[in-house]
Structure 1
Amino acid sequence: MLKRIAIVAGETSGDLLAARLILALKALNPELVFEGIAGPEMQAAGCVSLFPMERLSVMGLAEVLKHLPSLLKIRGALVKRWHNNPPDLFIGVDAPDFNLPLAGKLRRVGIRTAHYVSPSVWAWRAYRVKKMRQQLDVVLCLFPFEVDFYQRHELAAEFVGHPLADEIQFDGNKVAARRELALPEFETLLAILPGSRRSEVERLGKVFFETAQLLQNLDPDLQIIIPTVNDKLLALLEAQRLKVAPDLLVTYQNGQSRQLMQAADYLLMASGTAVLEGMLSGRLMVAAYRVSGLTMWILRRFKLLKVKFVTLPNNLAGEALVPEVLQEQVTPAYLAEQLEALFQLPETRRNYIMQRFKCLHSELKRDASASAARALMSHFNHA
Structure 2
Amino acid sequence: MKYYIIAGEASGDLHGANLMKALQDQDAHANFRFWGGDLMQAVGGTLVKHYKERQFMGFAEVILNLRKLLGLIKFCKKDIAIFQPDVIIFIDNSGFNLRIAKWAKEENYNTQYYISPQVWASRASRVEKIKRDVDAMYVILPFEKSFYDGYDYPVHFVGHPLIDAIADRTQISEHEFCAKHDLSNKPIIALLPGSRKQEITKMLGVMLSVVEDFKDYQFVIAGAPSQERSFYNTFIKQANVSFVENQTYDLLSVSTAALVTSGTATLETALFKVPQVVCYKANAISYQIAKRIITLKYISLVNLIMDKEVVTELIQHELNTKRLKHELSKILDDQERIKFFLNYYELEKKLGGKGASKKTAELIFESCKSNRF
> Normalising TM by the smaller chain, what interval?
0.7 to 0.9
CA contact (8 A) 1:107 1:136 kept: yes
The 5-angstrom pairing of residues 126-141 of structure 1 reads: 126-141=124-139
Which runs of structure 2 are paired with 1:149-168 in the superposition (5 Å)? 149-168=147-166
Among candidates 245, 253, 275, match of residue 244 of structure 2: 253
In angstroms, what is the RMSD of aligned CA positions? 3.1
Q: Relative to 1, partners in 2 of residues 1:190 and 1:36: Cα closer, same or farther, differing over 3 Å?
A: closer
Query: What is the CA-CA distance between 1:290 and the residue it aligns to?
Result: 0.8
* Aligned-pair CA distance for 1:181: 3.6
Query: Is the Cα–Cα contact under 8 Å of residues 55 and 71 in structure 1 kept in the other structure?
Result: no
Q: Does 1:368 align with 2:356?
A: yes
Alignment of 1:9-28 (within 5 A): 9-10=7-8, 13-28=11-26
1:8 offset after TM fit, Å? 3.4
Q: Do the aligned partners of 1:58 and 1:64 also contact (CA within 8 Å) in 2?
A: no
Counterpart for residue 76 of structure 2: 75
Change (3 A) 1:150 1:175: farther
Report the Cα distance in structure 1 between the residues aligned to 2:8 and 2:284, rounded to whole angstroms. 29
1:195 aligns with 2:183: no
User: 1:129-159: per-residue Cα shift (whole Å, max 9, x none)?
Assistant: 2211111011122222222222222223212
Q: 1:253 to 1:80 in 2, by over 3 A?
A: closer
Aligned residue identity for 2:71: S
Are the aligned partners of 1:188 and 1:265 in contact in 2 as well (CA < 8 Å)? yes
Contact 2:36 2:50 in 1 (8 A): no
Structure 1's 190 and 39: CA in aligned 2 closer, same or farther, altered over 3 A? closer
* Offset at residue 126 of structure 1 (A): 2.3
Residues 191 and 226 in structure 1, CA contact (< 8 A), matched pair in contact too = yes
Task: Provide closer, same or farther for how the CA distance between residues 270 and 79 of structure 1 changes in structure 2, counting only shifts above 3 A.
Answer: closer
Residues 182 and 165 (structure 1 numbering): CA distance in 2 closer, same or farther, change over 3 Å?
farther
Equivalent in 345, 354, 362 of residue 358 of structure 1: 345
The equivalent of 1:245 in structure 2 is: none
Count residues in correspondence: 360
State the match for 1:336 in structure 2. 325
Change (3 A) 1:127 1:56: farther
- Contact 1:207 / 1:332 at 8 angstroms: preserved in 2? yes
Identity of paired residues, percent?
26
> 1:111 is matched with which residue?
109
Q: How does 1:258-269 map to 2 (within 5 A)?
A: 258-269=249-260
Deviation at 1:315, TM superposition (A): 1.1
Tell me how far apart the structure 2 counterparts of residues 33 and 238 of structure 1 sit (CA, whole Å): 42
The one-letter code of the counterpart of 2:192 is: L
Structure 1 moving runs of 4+ over 6 Å? none
Q: Which residue of 1 aligns with 2:59?
A: none
Residue pair 2:9, 2:51 contacting (<8 A) in 1 also: no
**1:94–1:115 CA contact under 8 A, matched in 2:** yes
Partners of 1:196 and 1:316 in 2: how far apart? 23
Deviates more, 1:105-114 or 1:139-148: 105-114
SS at 1:307 equivalent: coil
Q: Which piece of structure 1 moves more, 287-296 or 58-67?
A: 58-67
5+ long unaligned stretches in structure 2: 57-61
Report if aligned partners of 2:9, 2:55 keep a CA contact under 8 Å in 1: no
Q: Deviations over 1:148-181 (max 9, x none)?
A: 2222222232122333221225998545544444
Matched ranges for 1:1-383 at <5 A:
3-10=1-8, 13-35=11-33, 45=43, 47=45, 49=46, 52-54=48-50, 57-60=53-56, 61=62, 64-68=65-69, 70-78=71-79, 80-81=81-82, 87-169=85-167, 173-185=173-185, 187-213=186-212, 215-216=213-214, 220-229=215-224, 230-238=228-236, 241=238, 250-300=241-291, 302=292, 304-346=293-335, 349-362=336-349, 363-378=351-366, 381-383=369-371
- SS of the counterpart of 1:53? strand
Q: Indicate the larger mover: 109-118 or 310-319.
A: 109-118
Residue 370 of structure 1 and its aligned partner are, at CA, apart by 0.7
SS in 1 for 2:210: helix
Structure 1 length as normaliser, TM-score? Answer: 0.81
Stretch of structure 1 that moved more, 153-162 or 22-31: 22-31
TM-score, normalised to structure 2, is 0.83
1:75 Cα shift?
Answer: 3.4
CA 1:77–1:316 in structure 2 vs 1: closer, same or farther (change >3 Å)? same
Q: CA deviation at 1:338?
A: 0.9
Contact 1:113–1:136 under 8 Å retained in 2: yes
Tell me, what secondary structure is at the counterpart of 1:296? helix
Over alpha carbons, which structure has the higher Rg? 1
Structure 1: unaligned runs, 5 residues or longer? 242-247
